[in-house]
Chain A
Amino acid sequence: MIHYDKVTKIYNGGQHAVENITLNVDSGEFVSFVGHSGAGKSTLLKMLFAEVKPTEGAVYFSSRNVGTLSDRDLLQLRRKIGTIFQDFRLLPTKTIYENIAFALEVAGKDDEDIKADVPHVLELVGILDKMWSFPAELSGGEQQRVAIARAIVNQPDVLIADEPTGNLDPINTHDVVEILKKINDLGTTVLLATHNKSIVDFVGRRVVTMDRGRIIRDDKMGKYVL
């Protein structure tokens, strides 16, 4: 489903963020990308939804080259990919309800569907009672649950989680990873970038280890080894 073909990314400073990477991810997989900061994990994931474009090589999603998509097709693609970040990236002037509703509106849902879907997905991540709060009124763990709810509400094919637990305490970290596993069990492909050893070992699925822009290990049932 996802194919990186000899992908290299050189940022303006001239440093190689990612170097000649070829990688396949099948539908329904849960892949953890591990490595030190600056190993190229985030760059690799951002290339999937064209927030970063490769300097060389190509990234394919469902056999389509992401780099050559038209603006319109790119928007369609992004609606099929849910994203979660370390800094949550919620819309601060919108309520939790509106944050989730926004993703549904963008995907073209009508108001009736939105009214039904938002409480449902908030219940799934366990923060239904915060529906009318603003992001700033929530704890980090709660904000990340909102971000997850927003990422999955459109039932995406792929969920990208870029250091989703970086700002969370151990209990919230565990909860977030549980939610990710649950989402994966329901059939969504999950790509997780992290340098948290315990969650990688806890997930116990495929682990891709990166170092200085290159893949140095790819284990089917991996552990965090660095």
Chain B
Amino acid sequence: MSFWLNIKRVARYGLIGFIRNGFVSLSAVLIMTITLLVVSGLMISGAALNATLQQLTNKVDVNVYFITSASDAQITDMQKMLEALPEVASVSYLSREEALAQFRERHKNDQLTIQALDELSDNPLGASLEVRAKETSQYESIAKFLEAQQAQSTDVGGAIDKVNFYQNKTAIDRLTNIIDASKRLGAIIAVVLALATILISLNTVRLAIYTSRNEIGVMNIVGASRWYVRGPFMVAGVLYGVISGAIVLILLYPISLYISPALERFLGTFNAFSYYADNFPFLFLVVIGSGIALGALSSYIAVRRYLQN
């Protein structure tokens, strides 16, 4: 028998079965919609968590203050050495003049300080380097490196006035712990929720097919091959997945629009709606893809129970 004829018949029976078992199909679609909503909700909250943690991480840095007599060459050397470290993400340079300008700006309402500053003949502020690490946990080793340079009184190290890491150490350590814990907790919650909803979906499809178990037995006895019996159920399973995936993608539009302002107020930079809009192709692939996979796999497993030789 021609392969395509079989495919055509299997697809048609799948579609007919989906329509004629309307109530069963409806409940399977509803349950799978909830599953996929949870999956996409996990994706979006994962992205929100990452964005928030990233934002927090960006606020942390270590500053190296140089003595006022440090030469440009010493500072450039230090910048190069720091940039060569694998832990370092970026190093930015703040000159003496810029430091002074920033100081004046910060204290513009404080006449006494400005006056005192004006009394001085020379700029009392040294240049500084602002160092950002790739991970918050890496600041300690960067600070140790700077400390060693300072202690050895190398040409470059001798120009260092102070490193502000130890003043911020407690805050940085605490933030590192919070970030690690939230990532771990987030992953655990995601896995548990995803597993639970997938199992519920699987069970719903199994129940849907349980109502057809006698039918499967009859098809066996008539001499239908396994794939001919299994095919229509898998087609129906794929339909459950595609339809509920489409429902979820449509629902996410108003949902993300609605929660966006509140979420943004709470988390700062993360905007749920622009995440939805920017990542739509990715969301589409994941939601529809997992719908199809879940539907087809559940049907496959469910039918296998009732298929015999």
A60 at the interface (CB under 8 A from B): no
List chain A residues, Cβ under 8 A from B224: 75, 102, 106
- Judge if B20 is at the interface, Cβ distance under 8 Å: yes
A-contact 0/1 string along B209-247, CB 8 Å cutoff:
000101101111111111010000000000000000000
Q: Chain A at the B interface: mostly helix, strand, loop or mixed?
A: helix
Q: How far is the CA of A150 from the CA of B228 in the complex (A)?
A: 17
B167 at the interface (CB under 8 A from A): no
B223 and A150 contacting across the interface, CB-CB below 8 Å:
no
Secondary structure of the B contact surface, majority rule: helix
Tell yes or no: A110 within 8 A of B by CB. yes
Given A50-B309, A89-B214, A110-B5, A83 contacting B219 (CB threshold 8 A):
no
Q: How far is the CA of A78 from the CA of B224 in the complex (A)?
A: 9
Closest to A134 in B: B20
A79 and B1 contacting across the interface, CB-CB below 8 Å: no
Let me know if B219 and A102 touch, CB within 8 A.
yes
Which residues from chain A contact B212 at a C-beta distance below 8 Å? 93
Given A93-B17, A93-B21, A107–B223 Cβ distance below 8 Å?
Answer: yes
Q: Which chain B residue lies CB-closest to A80?
A: B223
Pair B221/A78 contact, Cβ less than 8 Å: yes
Bound together, the chains give a CA A222 to CA B290 distance in angstroms of 63
Q: When chains A and B are docked, how far (Å) is the Cα of A218 from the Cα of B18?
A: 50
Closest to A102 in B: B222
CB <8 Å contact, B218 and A91: yes
* Complex contact B223–A79 (CB within 8 A): yes
B9 contacts the other chain (Cβ, under 8 Å)?
yes
Q: Are A49 and B5 in contact (CB under 8 A)?
A: no
Binary CB contact string for chain A from 82 to 111 against chain B (1 if under 8 A, 0 otherwise): 010000011111100000001101111011
- Which residue numbers of B lie inside 8 Å of A, CB to CB? 1, 5, 9, 16-17, 20-21, 212, 214-215, 217-226, 228, 308-309
